Structure 1
């Protein structure tokens, strides 16, 4: 009981800050609604791109549209929830260039936790809604033989997928201590990884198989769980039993992310102001 109260006390400053940020956004209702609509439309356009692609072909990488819809839903929902929590790590380059990151060092809280809770964009909930709808539709139109293992795999896939994408945001932030103006480069594997995760990994070239199959384990977020849930044939290099290894993929991603983050923090010497 005492430990629980202590943890709650430590987390209270973060809850207060996030609640204040959320309240300030909701207070400007017209602007908030426009933000939600723009975020929703951008997510719908990405889903429409998949539909247009499969409107031209009946199968891609051995999957039909109703099957790839499940891949998209799993990966996009996991990414959207990670973006909601960790997406503000993208703001780190601005703090570094302005020298305002030094303010974070004045507070008695971990630097990464301060960065993650420095803001919250409620508009990103609209994007998560599209992923949730796509996932629900994918589960409805596909013939899934539901059992305890299938339900467990679905939960494991969503949680480990969220953790994997969250690690990608932290990894990209850690690299900014060295790159400063390298947002475009890091976006290539964060947002490019999200795009890769929503596509059938069976069509990837060998370099992409190495990069987004194992180094950045995007195939574990949507493609592999879908193959396992639907009992579909898998590429020789990605057997379906790997779908249960999503937590290991997330641990690998976080090991890289935290190593890069701590390396970057030790490298940082202040804004010089």
Structure 2
């Protein structure tokens, strides 16, 4: 399955690379656009020393961790949110009759390798923050766990959004509210938001486990909302649970899909 994914992705990448100037300009543009988010953080800290009690480097750490997970998913699975276009055009039937998972085909459909520039930008920011903070080496084992958890959560959100489009074919923006909106939410310390919102993204939609809860452990910080210490380690539980829900929803969407007949 992995080999098939990369073969399909490579096909689209070769097609895009046939126009090298455009390819590299789009990659560079992705880095610049992503850099605007960092610029906003720097502007904020040009006028203050802390944000909800977190220093500039700590905020960049949280931003980098969330953005790296998100941009990896944006690169590899975000095309799932184009399901409704295929349903309305009648082209989803083509994916279903092929001997390859429809989910995998949709994820690689029109694969956009130029999004890799955003991944590099997020990795650079995270690397800088980790170096500048001089974090406790004994806590850094959580970093790869946190990134993997974030990837699973965002992948599950995109899959749920794709499944929802089998019912709401004219509302892909609804799914963007949870994917791109989730990324915007996790770029900053959750301490800047209201308690009720933080509870919702901890116990209902587990966005807090993308970078906030595990990030508090890595940074050696207490949770301003007073959640128990063990919550920092629940990401590997919350992420698979959401992924299972997404897989079931996707399966139901596929099973109940009715061909357009075109």
Give the alignment's TM-score, normalised by structure 2. Answer: 0.93
- Determine the C-alpha separation between the residues in 2 that align with 1:157 and 1:220: 7
Partner of 1:79: 70
Query: What's the offset of the Cα at 1:11?
Result: 5.3
Match of 1:265 in 2: 254
Q: Whole-Å Cα distance in 1 between the matches of residues 5 and 55 of structure 2?
A: 44
How far is the alpha carbon of 1:257 from its aligned partner? 1.1
CA spacing shift, 1:13–1:75, aligned 2, 3 Å: closer
Superimposed CA distance per residue, residues 79-133 of structure 1 (whole angstroms, 9 cap, x where no aligned partner): 1111111111122121111111011111122221221232321111100111101
Any unmatched runs of 5+ in structure 2?
none
* Corresponding pairs, count: 262
237 and 184 in structure 1: CA distance in 2 versus 1, 3 angstrom threshold: farther
Cα deviation digits, residues 121-163 of structure 1 (max 9, x gap): 111110011110110111011131112xx23211111111111
Stretches of structure 1 lacking an aligned partner (at least 5 in a row) = 1-9
Runs of 4+ in 1 over 6 A off after TM superposition: none
Q: Give the CA deviation at 1:235.
A: 2.6
- Please say which of residues 19-28 and 258-267 is displaced more in the overlay: 258-267
Structure 2 CA distance for aligned equivalents of residues 45 and 101 of structure 1: 36
d(CA) in 1 for partners of 2:235, 2:161: 20
| Cα pair 1:228 1:241 within 8 Å, conserved | no
* Pair 1:217-2:212 in alignment: no
> 1:39: Cα distance to partner?
0.9
Could you tell me which of 28, 33, 39 is aligned with 2:24?
33
Q: Indicate whether 1:161 and 2:150 are aligned.
A: yes
Q: Root-mean-square deviation (CA), in Å? A: 1.7
User: Taking structure 1 as the reference length, what is the TM-score of the superposition?
Assistant: 0.90
The answer on 1:19 being equivalent to 2:24 is: no
Q: Take 2:99 and 2:255, find their aligned partners in 1: how far apart are those partners?
A: 17
Partner of 2:52: 61
Question: Structure 1 residues 264, 79: closer, same or farther in 2, change over 3 A?
Answer: same
